[in-house]
Amino acid sequence: MIVRISGEDQYRLEESLHERLNQLDNAVLSAIDGNDEDAFNASFKELLDYVRANGQRIGDEEIETSDLILPPDDITLAEAAGEFTGEGLIPD
Amino acid sequence: MAGLTGRMSTVVKAKVSKLLDRAEDPAETLDYSYQKQVEQLQNVKKGIADVVTAKKRLQLQETSLQQQVVKLDTQARQAVSSGKEDLARVALERKNIAQTELQSLDTQVTELEAQQEKLTDSEQKLRAKIEAFRTKKEVIKAQYSAAEAQVKISEAATGVGEQMADVGLAMQRAVDKTENMKARADAVQELEAAGTFDDITALGPGEDDIDRQLKSLSSKSAVDDDLAKLKGELGSGDGGGGAGQLPAGAEEEPATADPAKEQSA
């Protein structure tokens, strides 16, 4: 499975790690839903660190399409919460 | 994944297909994609230049504010040593405002530097991907039949398209941040124009009370110094007092002259 951290790199991760990634991702979501800034920062960092620690970085010269894309590491809770409702992080 | 990751992936993928779908004829995908890639690289360069310009402007403001802080601090010290607590207070108040603005500018310059670094990094990554795409398409053309090659090249185009979408995201964030900083720089400039950080002897035309007080203070202390010097030269307190009375006596002359005339009349 290929995971991109936006603004950073792509990583190749074992399929077996999918479940753990899902758990970490859900923790981030519940922090967003609870509008809990500290929990958001902590859980999001944990998710990114997990990918960086367990994935193998894909070289810049390799062209791969990602299975999953994570927001950039400096995203704020407000951005994450508003990301998919309004204009979104990605402009047209 | 239904979480944040899933949402983000969906948004980016939609963006990528939007980037690529504009080439209606599949045969055009390659040319179109490559053209978009080159455009994107140019945009990133422009984005980096914008961030650098915004950063330089903030740094200039920082330098100017730092000078004001030093000046105001000196003036506060002068005022205190002259026993003018109210003047010292004004200078210190302005110094504090300037220092607060300085701290805020500092944070923002640091943030812009981070943005600049990210964009530069993004530009290098995109450049590497575009190079790889160019090489790959030649290899694909040589190894596969025309129909297969088209599919493979489209896949590669999608991969580079994702990189392009990602760079687009980094750019948008940098632009947003730069806009915020510009607004901030404008606000600081307004404060400067309003004289918030001016040193207290440079209040412009029409000088205010503080200005006059400070000037009279320094001239008064200069007179005191001169007087003390004179006293020292003449060697006695009485002699100094006598010298001080000279001008006063001269002023009184016309007044004494009139009664004298009256008396003689």
* pLDDT tens by residue, A72-83: 888 888 888 876
pLDDT for residue B208? 52
Q: How far apart are CA A81 and CA B9, in angstroms?
A: 15
pLDDT for residue A84? 47
Residues of chain A found within 8 Å of residue B9, distances taken between Cβ atoms: 66-69
Q: B11 vs A28: CB contact, 8 Å cut-off?
A: no
Q: How far apart are CA B213 and CA B76, in angstroms?
A: 14
More confident residue, A52 or B244: A52
State whether the Cα torsion B166-B167-B170-B176 is positive or negative: negative
For β-strands A2-5 and A68-70, DSSP reports them as parallel
pLDDT for residue B221? 65
pLDDT for residue B78? 86
Mean pLDDT of chain A: 85
pLDDT for residue B70? 92
Q: How far, CA to CA in Å, does A37 sit from each of A5, A34, B47?
A: 20, 9, 30
pLDDT for residue A88? 38
Residue from B1, B5, B111 whose CB has the most chain A CBs within 10 Å, to mutate: B5
Of A69, A72, A89, nearest to B5 by CB-CB distance is A69
pLDDT for residue B245? 45
Q: How far apart are CA A74 and CA A62, in angstroms?
A: 25
Residues of chain B found within 8 Å of residue A87, distances taken between Cβ atoms: none
Contacts with B, A 33-92, CB within 8 Å: 44, 47, 60-72, 74, 80, 83-84, 88-92
- Contact, A72 vs B154, CB < 8 A? no
- Interface predicted TM-score (ipTM) of this complex, two decimals: 0.81
Q: B159 vs A67: CB contact, 8 Å cut-off?
A: no
pLDDT for residue B144? 83
Alpha helices in A4-83 (DSSP H): 18-33, 37-54, 77-82
Among candidates A48, A51, A43, A4, which has minimal Cα distance to A26?
A43
Residues of chain A found within 8 Å of residue B3, distances taken between Cβ atoms: 22, 25-26, 28-29
pLDDT for residue B257? 45
pLDDT for residue B240? 43
pLDDT for residue B259? 47
pLDDT under 70 in chain B at which residues? Answer: 1-3, 5, 18-30, 199-223, 226-227, 229-231, 234-265
pLDDT for residue A49? 96
Q: A70 vs B158: CB contact, 8 Å cut-off?
A: no
pLDDT for residue B171? 83
Degrees to nearest 5, angle at CA A70 with A67 and A73: 155
Chain centroid to Cα B129, Å, comes to 35
- Contact, B40 vs B167, CB < 8 A? yes
Q: Which residues contact B39 (CB under 8 A, 6 or more apart)?
A: none
Q: B9 vs A67: CB contact, 8 Å cut-off?
A: yes
Please state the pTM of the whole predicted model. Answer: 0.65
Question: DSSP assignment, residue A57?
Answer: E
pLDDT for residue B27? 54
Residue A25 exposure: Cα atoms within 13 Å on the Cβ side: 21
Alpha helices in B82-145 (DSSP H): 85-143
